[in-house]
Structure 1
Amino acid sequence: MSNMIQAAREQVHALTQSAYEKAAAAGVLPAGAQVKATIEIPKDVKNGDYASSFAMAGAKALHRAPRQIAQAIVEHLDLAGSYFDKVEIAGPGFLNFTLGSKWYADVLCDIQAEGKRYGAIDEGKGETVMVEFVSANPTGPMHIGNARGGVLGDALASVLERAGYDVWREFYVNDAGNQIHKFALSIDARYLQRIQGEENVPFPEDGYRGEDIKELAQAFYDAHGADWKDKSEEERQAAMAEYGLSVNIPRMQEDLRRYHIEYDEWFLESSLHNSGYVEETVGLLRDKGWTYEKDGALWLDTSGLLRQKYLAEGKSREQVDKLDLKDDVLRRANGFYTYFAADIAYHRNKLEQRGFSKAINIWGADHHGHVARLQAALDGLGLDGSHRLVVVLMQLVNLLQDGQPVRMSKRSGKAIALRDLLDEVSVDAARFFFSSRSSSSALDFDLDLAVREDSENPVYYVQYAHARICSLIARLEEEGAAVPDAADVDPAVFATAEERALIKTLSQLPETIRLAARDYDPVHVNRYLITLAGEFHRFYNACYIKGEAPAVLRARLKLADTVRSVIANCLELLGVAAPEKM
């Protein structure tokens, strides 16, 4: 797994240490000093490509002025066969290393050798993690908040796979509980209104009022007529829920498939209740002393669990005492388990029964108060939820058209539906735009910008760079100039600032993957793509390829083709196509 930035850093350290030892052996510097130097990448290339603080860091131990130490190091450096052409002393004693042609050549060789796996790192070491995302209630169409969560979850899963994790994608279907009861009541009311008239059947005050509910009721009526109006309310509503889910869940799967999202499993909440797993999980909490009964209900001592969690994290007792901590009902007085109880059971299933080392959830920011409570409950079960449950909180999406907010869905009467959005913009644009801001930032999605075919549209800008390279390669192939092997390129011809900046950007992908995995945020890949496309366009405008001397043409053609492969590689991580023509 290539990381040429890290390789260069390590070589700076090794070269500097070797030069120090030679200087010490020659009696120029005292021997035996342990110097811990930093190695930075200067913002301005005039200060070299890597800067070591060895001389300043070693001044005390070596009893010498930093510039005197730096001079001794430079005089004993041997750069033969290294990645560097020269080293200069700057400022108070920085050692500024400038990369040579070998490093630039090795970047291209490594990318060619690794192919689609370029950028892969072994941060995860095969650790098994689950990414659960979207998990929208199956009571209506998915909206643009789900659309953003879908991209963030799917792209994050791809990033984690590239970072060396064994990843499982899951959708948690809330097909039980109060939301489904309300769903059934809503369809039932519309069904009875269809038979008896709207004025004769009151609609539930907190029912779902979208057109999709009317359509479900009409479809049920078309299949069964008025036969079900005389059945018991309980039997009729159970049938309505079953029918509504049988329509909505496949529709969600279809919408997400259109959105290029496939899951390893659609996990049903009802399975936790039917198997007795929720009851068993609540029993374990009771056995561990974390529950109590009040007013006929069974409560979780959430405040006690949170107090324990916060103290373990380093908060003082005074800080914890000031928090407004509350307990949660696990089982209501009527004997029904709450959604929170099912959620604890589900995450116990992830971490204990199925053995994932981490459970990573993509949730809307409105769930922020739920995170610590669920982690604490898992702590109470001995599952280390404070570390093994990772929740990525996603901020809201503002949909804009003609500079004005778009608020309503044509079908649901709520936020615009995913399928409506995909009727307006391409899947590629939707996925790229939704990953263009960090999950912790609100996102303005400009419908007008998403369909523009110019450099202002970021997905068009990146895809155009890929298509431009494909067209260039095709034209040159017609003239007999094929893309050469990286080993056959003379790296000495990469002499312009644009060429070298472009190769440096290519080398940054492994670090980009590391940061995206560390932060649980694929925005790093999105930003990298825009930077890489920008560097390519600058290179293409400044450096001629066609008509140049053979050695220059081959080198620049190979560089362009390498950019093409890396752009395609990164677009795939985001679930976006890499078109060859535009």
Structure 2
Amino acid sequence: MFPALRDEVASALEAALAARELPTDDLGIEEPPDDVESVLASSVAFRLAGVVGAAPPRVAAELADEIDPDELTLVDRVETQGPYLNFLPSAAYYAETLDAATESTYGRRPDRGESVVVEHTSANPTGPVHVGRARNPIIGDAVANALDYAGYDVDRHYYVNDAGRQIAVFTWAYETFDESDLGEPDREKADYDLVRYYREGNAFLEDAPEEEVEAAEAEIESIMQGLEAGEEATYERVSEVVDRVLEGMRETLSRLPVTFDEFVKETRFMRDGSTDDVVARLQDLDEAFYEDDAWQLDLSAFGMEKPFVFLRADGTSLYTTRDVAHHEWKFDQYDRAVTVIGEDHELTFDELRKTLELLGHDTDPLDQLFYSWVNLPGGEGMSTRAGTGIDLDDLLDEAVSRARGEVEDRLDDRIRDDDLTEADVERIARQVGIGAVRYDIVAKQPTKAITFEWDRALDFEAQSAPYVQYVHARCCGILEEADADPAADLSDLADDVDATTLETPEERDLLEVIARFPRVIETAADDLEPHRVATYTREFAETFNAFYRECPVLSNDVDEETRAARLALVAASKHTIANALDVLGVAAPRSM
């Protein structure tokens, strides 16, 4: 209801301004401070004081006189507070919020008829996913979820780098070394098995005699040339390695859980001639020149001093050249393209965008979200090549183990009473532990580097995933006690309920927070800022807990009318927090 209220307030303000022949280009609508009773306010009087020639409070009062609340549905009255116009919601606003939020799809916005591809993770298939890169799939998945909830038709893509030198080295190493040359894998998974070849190959290239290294480099170059030429045999050799490593990486990502609609291989745009076509068109540009044994593009007109090399002297293309073809394909297939990418690729992405513009493309549909790194206390290294660092699998194992300890400490009595089985505890530990990792990472602004800390992430009392998840479990517990199925659509609980019964400050505050959820989704999607949803869930949890303390739902002391209204409010809360957690990719446990 909040978006509908905002629209109604905007229309009322525009009409009031038009009646006084004042400009309507900036309405100054904002959410007021917590100590103000209204849900929306307008600071437009500040802007118009000079135009009208009167003090802002007088302008605000005159505009308020132009608005007749009787002609509005969701606004009960308009009050002024100094220069602000405050809009107080009507009973219909609360009733319609309660009605809407008891639907299981609450928060999902209408279909926009616009397609979006979200490319994220795209880690090189050279070994297990590492903690330092964990932010990409977690943020990328949350961005895709937010866009999906906001009404976009979303595809999730993993762009597979299967054509660069690293992959050629990996393929050569896999074909060169025997199992007996390698140590034991850290895990029984394909990516851990094959990464041993990659590490052995790199060690060989650093330490072997010069003539042996030269022979190896010749084979590596042959693999790269074979891919460039579109040789099927070379592609199959490389795919054997890449596909097996990806199998293991996908297994790890599924634990988060993160899934993809398509794994788009880089070689696709070499084999279908797209890269050659891009190279030919780049060579025809006025900005193209050949120097230092390479074709380059002068981007100085865009303030970029370093030229963009798009073709080597040996005829092999570069990653960004192939990515130009990749993005041209995206533009053909989708209305909008979003890329979640590490901050170390910012310059490369700038080169890509400027090159696309020189080729005549409108890059407005292209959005990128840069993120900084995740660190663990102590600053452990994250190098796949060196074989050091902390793998994401290790982090998730530790998360589940620590969460199980926390859960068992809190639930010993319930386990003994058979309220929860060991299987229940394992499920909750997995949901809480992995939820804690995802939540702690996605809750921070992507551009800020973060250090993951266990005590903060798994704190059941602080503003963490367990704190928010517990609200959902509490809602489910209340509904089960009232013989309602928390997993079902609960819209029938709002039937014949009088929302005016919900008149305590805690009930009204909770309804107002619930009403804002669809707007939070829209903002998170439009600005590519999923951390806003995490911030919302913390506010929601605090507001629900205040309601829970002050407003008993099933107590014998509560009359039937109030009981029904409060139960409907719990149902609305359950759907709201479940869907907010769903956007973040965090499980909503039924019990904790």
TM over 0.5: yes
Are 1:563 and 2:573 an aligned pair?
yes
Q: 1:272 aligns with which of 269, 272, 281?
A: 269
Paired position in structure 1 for 2:452: 445
In structure 2, what is the Cα distance between the partners aligned to 1:156 and 1:343? 21
Q: 1:465 aligns with which of 471, 476, 479?
A: 471
- Give the TM-score normalised by structure 2: 0.77
Task: Go from structure 1 to structure 2 and tell me whether the alpha carbon gap of 1:105 and 1:249 turns closer, same or farther (over 3 Å shift).
Answer: same
Paired position in structure 1 for 2:502: 494
Q: 2:82 aligns with which of 80, 91, 94?
A: 91
Q: 1:175 aligns with which of 139, 162, 175?
A: 162
Paired position in structure 2 for 1:358: 336
In structure 2, what is the Cα distance between the partners aligned to 1:259 and 1:108? 32
Paired position in structure 2 for 1:225: none
Q: 1:110 aligns with which of 100, 103, 112?
A: 100
Answer yes or no: is the 8 Å Cα contact 2:3–2:518 preserved in 1: no
Aligned partner letter, 1:438: Q
Task: Go from structure 1 to structure 2 and tell me whether the alpha carbon gap of 1:217 and 1:241 turns closer, same or farther (over 3 Å shift).
Answer: farther
Paired position in structure 2 for 1:214: 196
In structure 2, what is the Cα distance between the partners aligned to 1:212 and 1:475? 52
Q: How does 1:43-192 map to 2 (within 5 A)?
A: 43-46=33-36, 48-52=38-42, 67=58, 70=61, 74=65, 77-79=68-70, 82-91=73-82, 94-113=84-103, 115-121=104-110, 125-187=112-174, 190-191=177-178
Task: Go from structure 1 to structure 2 and tell me whether the alpha carbon gap of 1:500 and 1:47 turns closer, same or farther (over 3 Å shift).
Answer: closer
Paired position in structure 1 for 2:352: 374
- Structure 1: runs of 5+ lacking an equivalent: 22-30, 198-209, 219-228, 311-319
In structure 2, what is the Cα distance between the partners aligned to 1:58 and 1:246? 63
Are 1:326 and 2:323 an aligned pair?
no
Give the number of the structure with larger relative contact order, counting CA–CA contacts within 8 Å between residues 6 or more apart: 2
Paired position in structure 1 for 2:5: 8
Aligned partner letter, 2:96: D
In structure 1, what is the Cα distance between the partners aligned to 2:72 and 2:117? 45
Are 1:341 and 2:321 an aligned pair?
yes
Q: Secondary structure at the match of 1:361?
A: strand
Task: Go from structure 1 to structure 2 and tell me whether the alpha carbon gap of 1:69 and 1:142 turns closer, same or farther (over 3 Å shift).
Answer: closer
> How far has the Cα of 1:17 moved from its partner?
7.6
Task: Go from structure 1 to structure 2 and tell me whether the alpha carbon gap of 1:192 and 1:291 turns closer, same or farther (over 3 Å shift).
Answer: farther
Paired position in structure 2 for 1:581: 591
In structure 1, what is the Cα distance between the partners aligned to 2:462 and 2:502? 30
Answer yes or no: is the 8 Å Cα contact 1:140–1:412 preserved in 2: no
Are 1:393 and 2:370 an aligned pair?
yes
Q: What CA RMSD, in Å, does the superposition of the two structures yield over aligned residues?
A: 3.6
In structure 1, what is the Cα distance between the partners aligned to 2:277 and 2:17? 65
> How far has the Cα of 1:254 moved from its partner?
1.9
Q: Secondary structure at the match of 2:295?
A: strand
Task: Go from structure 1 to structure 2 and tell me whether the alpha carbon gap of 1:451 and 1:45 turns closer, same or farther (over 3 Å shift).
Answer: closer
In structure 2, what is the Cα distance between the partners aligned to 1:165 and 1:73? 37
- 1:415-460: CA deviation from partner (whole Å, max 9, x where unpaired): 32122222112332222222111111112212344445x2236111
Aligned partner letter, 2:534: N
In structure 1, what is the Cα distance between the partners aligned to 2:325 and 2:588? 41
Paired position in structure 2 for 1:419: 393
Answer yes or no: is the 8 Å Cα contact 1:112–1:562 preserved in 2: yes
Aligned partner letter, 1:267: V
> How far has the Cα of 1:302 moved from its partner?
3.3
Task: Go from structure 1 to structure 2 and tell me whether the alpha carbon gap of 1:158 and 1:213 turns closer, same or farther (over 3 Å shift).
Answer: closer
Q: Secondary structure at the match of 2:468?
A: helix
Aligned partner letter, 2:445: S
Answer yes or no: is the 8 Å Cα contact 1:409–1:417 preserved in 2: no
In structure 1, what is the Cα distance between the partners aligned to 2:358 and 2:127? 35
Aligned partner letter, 1:556: R
Answer yes or no: is the 8 Å Cα contact 1:187–1:240 preserved in 2: no
In structure 2, what is the Cα distance between the partners aligned to 1:191 and 1:167? 43
Q: How does 1:198-209 map to 2 (within 5 A)?
A: none
Q: 2:562 aligns with which of 552, 561, 569?
A: 552
In structure 2, what is the Cα distance between the partners aligned to 1:149 and 1:459? 19
Identity %: 33
Q: Secondary structure at the match of 2:127?
A: coil
Task: Go from structure 1 to structure 2 and tell me whether the alpha carbon gap of 1:496 and 1:135 turns closer, same or farther (over 3 Å shift).
Answer: same
Larger-gyration structure (1/2): 1
> How far has the Cα of 1:35 moved from its partner?
6.1
Q: How does 1:217-232 map to 2 (within 5 A)?
A: none
- 1:202-221: CA deviation from partner (whole Å, max 9, x where unpaired): xxxxxxxx985436899xxx
- Structure 2: runs of 5+ lacking an equivalent: 184-191, 201-211, 224-233, 400-432, 485-489
In structure 1, what is the Cα distance between the partners aligned to 2:312 and 2:17? 72
Q: 1:41 aligns with which of 28, 31, 35?
A: 31
Task: Go from structure 1 to structure 2 and tell me whether the alpha carbon gap of 1:277 and 1:105 turns closer, same or farther (over 3 Å shift).
Answer: same
Q: Secondary structure at the match of 1:563?
A: helix
> How far has the Cα of 1:192 moved from its partner?
9.4
How many residue pairs get matched? 514
Paired position in structure 2 for 1:314: none
In structure 2, what is the Cα distance between the partners aligned to 1:72 and 1:241? 70
Task: Go from structure 1 to structure 2 and tell me whether the alpha carbon gap of 1:12 and 1:410 turns closer, same or farther (over 3 Å shift).
Answer: closer
In structure 2, what is the Cα distance between the partners aligned to 1:326 and 1:499? 60
Answer yes or no: is the 8 Å Cα contact 1:33–1:62 preserved in 2: no
In structure 2, what is the Cα distance between the partners aligned to 1:335 and 1:483? 63
Q: Secondary structure at the match of 1:508?
A: helix
Answer yes or no: is the 8 Å Cα contact 1:12–1:52 preserved in 2: no
In structure 1, what is the Cα distance between the partners aligned to 2:62 and 2:274? 70
In structure 2, what is the Cα distance between the partners aligned to 1:156 and 1:250? 24
Aligned partner letter, 1:340: T
> How far has the Cα of 1:558 moved from its partner?
0.9
In structure 2, what is the Cα distance between the partners aligned to 1:215 and 1:377? 36
> How far has the Cα of 1:167 moved from its partner?
1.6
Answer yes or no: is the 8 Å Cα contact 1:469–1:561 preserved in 2: yes
Please, which moves more after superposition, 56-65 or 510-519? 56-65
Q: How does 1:274-293 map to 2 (within 5 A)?
A: 274-293=271-290
Are 1:510 and 2:488 an aligned pair?
no
- 1:324-359: CA deviation from partner (whole Å, max 9, x where unpaired): 6111222222222222222222222222xx432322
Are 1:433 and 2:440 an aligned pair?
yes
In structure 2, what is the Cα distance between the partners aligned to 1:7 and 1:457? 30
> How far has the Cα of 1:253 moved from its partner?
2.0
Aligned partner letter, 2:107: Y
